Structure 1
Amino acid sequence: MSLITPCLWFAADAGEAAELYTRIFPDGATLSTTRYGEGMPLPAGTPLLIELTIGGQRFQLLNGGPMYRPTPSISFFVQLASAEAAQPVYDALSAGGKVMMPLGAWPWSPCYAWVEDRFGVSWQLIVGEGDVGTAAIVPCFMFSGAQHGRAAEAMALWTGLFPGAEVGPVEPYGEGEGPAGTIKHGRFRLGGQGFVAMDAQGEHGFSFTEGVSLAVRCA
């Protein structure tokens, strides 16, 4: 079982999201569903917490009401085998959502896209090994606004707390690209799981929220 599991917050449509994700991503399956009972904030029988796996990555989907929404500060790299495999995933995620970077050739990949699905969850689709390692789905932390410039600090802190942790490789911004010491793309591992961190230049109007959190399994 994974040490760290991403938890996605939904108003009341976690079940709809789970159906979409397990249908369009490789090796998708629902593992368990806990439901609301009588006298609870959402109608009895509504999913409270859904645990699923897609692309070898476990997720928790939580129906918690409208207080929080995911933001692109935490997105998920999805490695796909070909442009043909990426297209239907891109189409399904972008339907009713927001295309941040359209599917096509980019300097870092022959086929890449960044989309926010209709539930507000951000996905970066990439064909080939790219820069994210070998896992099919990898969480990515983007430090912007008040958090800009803290990617290296975060990687150092987190890898000092968890077993099976290491930083690298890390690509800093070059001269003229951004402030010295800021990170263009950094990989790190926690508990043997891969993650990505980066500092985003400019003001993007969002930051980290409870909309995407990380559940840590304690022995």
Structure 2
Amino acid sequence: MSKFSPCLWFDGKVEEAADFYVDAFEQGAIKQTDYYVDSEHQPKGSILTISLTLAGQEFILLNGGPEFKFTPAISFYVECETEEQIDQLWKKLSQEGNVLMEYGEYPFSSKFGWVADRYGVSWQLVLAGRPQSIAPAFLFTKEQSGKAEEAMNQWISIFGDGNVEYVQKNPDGTISQALFTMHGQPFRVMDGGAVDHDFTFTMATSFYVYCKDQEEIDRLWDAVTAKGKEWPCGWMEDEYGVCWQTVTSDMEKLFDNSDPDRAYRVMQELYKMKKIDIAALRAAYEKKE
């Protein structure tokens, strides 16, 4: 299992979006669908999340409601192997979408384009001549502009097992483009510079962080929220406005809705929490009525 998985917050149409992405990517597959077991946030029985894989990367699509909207502050950088592959992917993702950088030739690649798809999720496509891969890309704008390098180094320090692979700087010392890895997964950061962007990070795009135990959850929670914010249900916002969610490998079992009453107990326990308490969730799971 990968350490990090992007979580995309949708206002309905989550099933439609999952089908759209699986169709767009050659290596796309739906893994699991989970449903609401109460009616506090969405109608009982409606879809809660759909997990899928695209080019080997897990994505979680969350049916959360209208509170948050996607912005280009977080996009997904897709390296494509062949011209046919990138042409087809661009055609599908740009249909009914909003082109942010025209698809064509650039100094760094013979084919590149940046598009927000019909749901608002942003994708950067580049012809790289390597097997298709996806890397989250963070664009630091507004008051966060100029902090890309600082954030990259901080994330590596907090989440561990990281390495800076490549850095290209602007004349003023800000980051034009940087590539780094954490736990073997690629990430990119950029500074917005002098461009007057009207967007920044939102909770519409967050990242699952799979933790091995309560000790790791506690450590990450303290480090990320030290200058950030605590949110319910294991969500934590760092000082740059990027959101992360602590989850464990057995949460899939704990929230299994094959037993609706048990799933309801566990979900009600989760709603009481900010930082995840694995023991409390397991106690709710094992409780006998």
Q: What TM-score do you get using the length of structure 1 for normalisation? A: 0.91
1:134 deviates by 7.0
- 2:173 pairs, out of 176, 181, 191, with 181
Q: Is the 8 A contact 2:81 2:131 kept in 1?
A: no
The more displaced of 94-103 and 182-191 is 94-103
1-side partners of 2:91 and 2:46: how far apart?
A: 28
Which residue of structure 2 aligns with residue 206 of structure 1?
199
Cα deviation, residue 43, structure 1: 3.2
Task: Give the Cα–Cα distance (whole angstroms) in 1 for the partners of residues 50 and 128 of structure 2.
Answer: 30
Matched positions, count:
211
**Which residue is equivalent to 1:58?**
58
Question: Following TM superposition, by how much is the alpha carbon of 1:38 offset from its aligned partner in structure 2, in angstroms?
Answer: 5.3
Asked if structure 2 preserves the Cα contact closer than 8 Å seen for 1:135 and 1:194, the reply is no
Change (3 A) 1:117 1:29: same
Aligned match of 2:84: 84
Tell me: CA distance 1:215–1:71, structure 2 relative to 1, closer, same or farther (3 Å).
same
Residue in 1 that maps onto 2:73: 73
More helix by share: 2
Corresponding residue of 2:10: 10
Select the structure that is richer in strand.
1
Please state if 1:142 is matched with 2:139. yes
Contact 1:34 1:47 in 2 (8 A): yes
TM-score (norm 2): 0.70
Gap runs ≥5 in structure 2:
213-289
Change (3 A) 1:134 1:140: farther
Unpaired runs of 5+ in structure 1? Answer: 175-179
AA at the equivalent of 2:208: A
In the TM superposition, residue 146 of structure 1 has moved relative to its aligned partner by: 1.2
Residue 148 of structure 2 corresponds to residue 156 of structure 1? no
- Larger Rg belongs to: 2
**Counterpart for residue 186 of structure 2:** 194
After superposition, where does 1:27-42 map in structure 2 within 5 Å?
A: 27-37=27-37, 39-42=39-42
**Aligned counterpart, 2:234:** none
Structure 1 counterpart of 2:178, one-letter code: G
Provide the identity percentage.
41
Which gives a bigger RCO, structure 1 or 2 (Cα 8 Å, sep 6+)?
A: 1
Structure 1 counterpart of 2:23, which letter?
Answer: R
